[in-house]
Amino acid sequence: MIYLRKHRMKYLLPYLKPYKKQFVAGPVSKLIEAALELTLPFYMARIIDGGIIAGDRGVIKNTGLLMVLIISVGLISAVICQYSAAVASQGFGKRLRSALFSRVGRLSFARLDRFGADTLSTRIINDVTQLQNAVSMFIRLIIRAPLICIGSVIAAFMLDAELALVILAAMPLFALIIFVIMRVSIPLYKKQQEKLDRLSGILRENLSGVRVIRAFVKTNDEKKRFFCQSDEFAAGADRVGIISAMLSPATMLIMNGAIIAVIWFGGFRFQSGEMTQGEIIAFINYIAQILNVLIVSANLIVLFTRAHASLGRIGEILSSEPDLREMELTPMRSERAAKNAPVVSFSGVGFSYSGSGEMALKDISFALMPGESMGIIGLTGSGKSTLVKLIPRFYDPSRGRVEFLGRDVKDYRLSELRDKIGVAEQTTRLFTGTIESNIRFGNPGASTGEIKKACAVAQAAEFIEKKREQYGAPVERGGRNLSGGQRQRLAIARALVRKPALLILDDAGSALDYATEAALYKALYSEKNRPAMIIISQRISSVRAAGRILVLDEGRAAGFGTHEELLETCGIYKEIYHMQNREDRHCEKKPRRD
């Protein structure tokens, strides 16, 4: 964390470098504007002393036209700066968001679990916006604010050195206020971002689980939970807001006090003839310029305080290097491995999730040859899904070795490894588009014939061809316009169209009726050049036809063999079998209600 705090700015530099021109043009334009603005009180004093009091209209006219010219040039400079700030900040935000999105896509599942989806979305959207605003204000004010402040102080000393001491006396008070408020508010802003993450998480849960919440009449309970977190966030926002709001009035109090002191002492100096009316007006204008800059700077400090907290949160993502090492598999090794080695082999594999003291998998060993099939069955929480997630390297094993086509999975590039594996899970993820576009997600180069064949094997062709648009039928976000069984069949077709070396069906037929599921597996086993298959299911009927079945119990292999062998040797498998048979017989004997 100490290293991150010292070096966090380095994570932003690659996304700021493309806008070097804007970072030069913007401040230079503001430099011109600020320099011209500093001359205005001087010319105003000339109009008062040399024009109005002296009764010289020529001075008023000429000086007035010069002031209009100065204001016009300043306006053009300000527009150039604003444009530069907009281009740089928006471009920076776009690049940073894209980089964060790409980085998140490369993070291991273990790191994703540690961050959480809610905090990642908040950081990519909200925190980047905070940094965008900070970049914009930096370009606009990094030169103008100090130049106006320092220039006004110098000009005030040139007008009257003794009276200018009033301004200098106010500066330490202002610096003290800034220091105290920043010291208190920075930790509070960080806590607010964390509270926003939790609030976003509750909102996401309620939106995605609205049907379950309503079905169990938990709407009021969820409202209370949301309102409680919302109140906590609002209370924190109030505390931060009160502290931040103190900055502007405190600044106004100090500077208005300075103006009163200038008018008071300036009156005496005017009476003694040491200052003219125009000089006093110019002096007050310089103080007003300082006041305006300090007020803007106060707001800028609040903005930078928020950006400071956001920078730390974004730095955590950018500093999280992908922890899955990748290596290229040479064609020679790839060819030799595919011919002579198992498709998948586990050797003494153990695994535990990050932050968990318990092993989810313990000493798992097996081998699966090309064309073979293996079923995995076990009670809920036995580690079935965890096991298959180690093959495409969604997670790396804590101990032992996982091999794919004769090579350690760590020796593959992730893209090459995962391109050889087709996965269909119980929870199906479909994307907005058409049926065809969702299936092509598995293989963008698939022909129409290959798509139709995959759908036929997955038992999806029947319902697809009944639709008017058939394969061009629309799929809404998440596939919500399709039934659970239809979504699962499309997911299986998407996995098949990849023509993988290994097909993993992780409870992918749980929403299918028995007849459709039986037809699915019959079609899969009938394929001539079928891939090696791992079938995870709660139903013995889904895995009994597999060449071998692995029975898991609390992460350990409780049995491994054919259906018949396990009935003889594995008590857990036998218990599951008899329990499911009793349920099936009970359903068959239950009288039908017409």
pLDDT tens figures, 297-322: 777 777 777 787 778 778 777 777 66
Residue 243 corresponds to which tokens in the numbers above? Answer: 């502290």
Nearest to 127 by CA among 3, 11, 14: 11
Mean local confidence (pLDDT), 68-92: 91
Residue 181 has pLDDT above 50, yes or no: yes
Give the least confident one: 64-73, 275-284, 384-393. 275-284
Q: What is the CATH number of domain 331-420+500-589?
A: 3.40.50.300
> Which amino acid makes up residue 551?
V
Say if residue 569's pLDDT is above 80: yes
Give the chain's mean pLDDT. 81
Domain-wise residue ranges, the chain:
2-318, 331-420+500-589, 429-496
The separation between CA 246 and the C-alpha centre of its own chain, rounded to angstroms, equals: 33
Is the model's pLDDT at 519 over the cut of 50? yes
Q: Are strands 407-408 and 361-368 parallel, antiparallel or unpaired?
A: unpaired
* pLDDT exceeds cutoff 90 at 524: no
Does 469 score more than 80 pLDDT?
yes
Looking at domain 2-318, its CATH class is mainly alpha
So what's the pLDDT on residue 226? 85
Burial class, 468, CB count within 10 angstroms (exposed 0-12 / middle 13-18 / buried 19+):
exposed
User: In this structure, what DSSP letter does residue 482 have?
Assistant: S
Does this chain's domain 2-318 share its CATH topology with 331-420+500-589? no
Q: Per residue in 242-255, is it b (16+ CB within 10 Å) or e — as a string?
A: ebbebbeebbeebb
pLDDT, position 479: 80
Q: Place 346 in a pLDDT band, splitting at 50, 70 and 90.
A: very high
pLDDT of residue 246: 78
Question: When comparing pLDDT for 592 and 104, which is higher?
Answer: 104
Q: What gap in Å lies between CA 81 and CA 85, rounded to an integer?
A: 6
As given in the structure block, the two tokens for residue 35 are 């320099």
Write out pLDDT tens, residues 247-290.
778 877 887 787 788 788 877 777 777 777 787 888 888 877 87
Higher-scoring residue by pLDDT: 20, 356: 20
Question: Which two three-digit tokens encode residue 58?
Answer: 């020529």
**pLDDT class for 127, splitting at 50, 70, 90?**
confident
pLDDT of residue 214: 74
Residue for token pair 């603005």: 37
3-state secondary structure 533-556: EEEECCCHHHHCCCCEEEEEECCE
Span 523-536, average pLDDT? 87
Looking at residue 80, its pLDDT comes to 93
Banded pLDDT at 165 (limits 50, 70, 90): confident
For the chain, what is the radius of gyration of the CA atoms? 35
User: 589: pLDDT confidence band, cut at 50, 70 and 90?
Assistant: very low
Q: Give me the pLDDT at residue 582, please.
A: 67
Is residue 170 predicted with pLDDT exceeding 90?
A: no
**Mean pLDDT value across residues 153-170:** 80
Strand intervals (E) in 310-420: 344-351, 361-368, 373-378, 399-404, 407-408
Question: Which of the two residues, 29 and 339, has the higher pLDDT score?
Answer: 29
Tokens linked to 503: 């097909």
CA–CA gap between residue 506 and residue 374 (Å, rounded): 12
% of the chain beyond a pLDDT of 90: 6
Q: What does the buried/exposed string (b/e) look like for 478-503 if buried means 16 or more CB atoms within 10 Å of the residue's CB?
A: ebeebeebbbbbbbbbbbbbbebbbb
